[in-house]
Amino acid sequence: MIATLINSIAFSSLLILVVTGLAVIYGLRGVMNFAHGALYMAGAYLGYTIAQVANFWVALIAVPIVMGLVGFPIEFGVFRPLRKLSPMNIALLTFGAALIISDVILRIFGSAAYTANLAGTGLEGTVDLWGQRYPVYRLFVIVVGIVFSLALFLWLRFSRSGMYVRAVSQDPQTSAMTGINADRIGMWIVCLGTGCAGLAGVLAAPYVAVLPTMGAQMATIALIIVVLGGVGSIGGAILMAVIYGFVTTFGAQFLPEFAAVVPFLVAFLILVIRPQGLGRSRTT
């Protein structure tokens, strides 16, 4: 029971990292990035490769930076030149990009499942947790998740740039009128978002099976979470990520037959009651 509880928190931490990136990019750029799962997968494969040739700690530092830099070409090569397209068309574009990225990764790494090497990091093995052996690494994932969420909260709530981000997410036009340079903030937010996806990917690499299907799977989950949390609401997305993590993990424990189906059913149930999602979503 305690193990399941902690597993839920670990999985939720991972989901928080992914959906935050998705939610901030939507908030600032109005783009529903269907390729976010593919970026997460790219982060996982990159992390696996670096952990293989160097060390997992190196991967943990390098991957978010590299994936964050990927944000620049995405911002300047895709989002800015194509901003006249409708949000739906850009979503379709990212969907197509996700399929291409998956195919490329499948060609490079094949369809075998990998797990990143934790040897020599001090994160392998288990600890005694109230009489149960529990993997150290999952506790580490939880710590990263909590630190990340806290840092995000403090930044958004108490810094000037965080306030700008909240303002642009809520109402891009009015905030632009007050002199906020939405473009410049948007550029950094896109990098932050792709970096988050990379961090989630590298964190997942020793934890889940690194497979060419993991991207589409995570994209589906993350997109559902964002819809349920209320599109455009960062807090709603994080809240839903936690709920989703718990429902999935406890579902796997107590209803193993239907573990994969339960979260989808819960999602549809929520939407029957509240079509706009649980959080306070942007009105546009």
Partner 1 sequence: MTDSKLTLPSPELLTGGRAAPRASPRRLVAWYIVGGVVAVLGFLVPLVLRNVHWLDVLGQGLVLGVAATGVGILVRQTGLVNFGAGAVFGGGAYLYAIAVLQLQIDMTLAFLLAMVGITVMAFLVGIITVRTGHLQFAILTIAFASLLVQFVLTQFARPVTGAADGKILQQTGTFFGLSAKAMFQASTFWPVAWAAILIAVAVAIVVERSKLGRIARAIQENEERMLFAGYRVLWPKVAVFTIAGALGGLAGALTAMHYSFVSPSLLDISSGGSILVAALVGGPQSAFGPAIGAILYAIGEDAFGAAGRADLLTGIGIIAAIVLLRRGFVGLIEDVVKLIRRGVAKTRKGSSRVEH
Of 155 and 280, nearer to partner 1 (C-beta) is 280
252 near partner 1, rule: CB under 8 A: no
- Smallest separation, CB 87 to partner 1 (Å): 6
Within 33-135, residue ranges assigned H as helices are 36-53, 56-74, 87-109
Q: What is the helix (H) or strand (E) element at residue 126, kind and residue range?
A: strand 126-129
Q: Are 21 and 192 in contact (CB under 8 A)?
A: yes
Count of alpha carbons within 13 Å of 79, Cβ hemisphere only? 24
Among residues 53, 88, 112, 119, the one that binds partner 1 under rule CB under 8 A: 88
Q: Report the distance separating Cα 198 and Cα 99, nearest Å.
A: 18
Of 51 and 78, nearer to partner 1 (C-beta) is 78
1 near partner 1, rule: CB under 8 A: no
- Quote the tokens at residue 165: 């981000």
Among residues 62, 99, 139, 252, the one that binds partner 1 under rule CB under 8 A: 99
Measured from the Cβ of residue 180, the count of other Cβ atoms closer than 10 Å reads 18
Q: What is the helix (H) or strand (E) element at residue 4, kind and residue range?
A: helix 2-29
Of 36 and 138, nearer to partner 1 (C-beta) is 36
- Smallest separation, CB 158 to partner 1 (Å): 30
- Smallest separation, CB 90 to partner 1 (Å): 8
Q: Report the distance separating Cα 221 and Cα 2, nearest Å.
A: 24
- Smallest separation, CB 41 to partner 1 (Å): 13
Of 206 and 230, nearer to partner 1 (C-beta) is 230
97 near partner 1, rule: CB under 8 A: yes
Among residues 63, 210, 224, 234, the one that binds partner 1 under rule CB under 8 A: 224
Q: Are 41 and 105 in contact (CB under 8 A)?
A: yes
Among residues 57, 72, 95, 153, the one that binds partner 1 under rule CB under 8 A: 95
Whose tokens are 């190196």? That residue is 58
152 near partner 1, rule: CB under 8 A: no
- Smallest separation, CB 32 to partner 1 (Å): 5
Task: Considering only the stretches 51-59, 175-183, 241-249, 259-267, report the one whose residues sit in contact with partner 1 under the rule CB under 8 A.
Answer: 259-267
Number of H helices, E strands in the chain: 11, 2
Q: What is the helix (H) or strand (E) element at residue 135, kind and residue range?
A: strand 132-135
Of 26 and 207, nearer to partner 1 (C-beta) is 26
Which among 10, 92, 37, 22 is positioned nearest to 236, based on CA atoms?
Answer: 22
Among residues 52, 132, 174, 220, the one that binds partner 1 under rule CB under 8 A: 220
3 near partner 1, rule: CB under 8 A: no
Which residues sit opposite 133 in a β-bridge? Answer: 128
**Total of residues contacting partner 1 (CB under 8 A):** 37
Which residues sit opposite 210 in a β-bridge? Answer: 114
Measured from the Cβ of residue 84, the count of other Cβ atoms closer than 10 Å reads 7
Give the residues lining the site for partner 1 (CB under 8 A): 32, 82, 85, 87-89, 91-93, 95-100, 102-103, 216, 220, 223-224, 226-227, 231, 257-258, 260-261, 264-265, 267-268, 271-272, 275-277
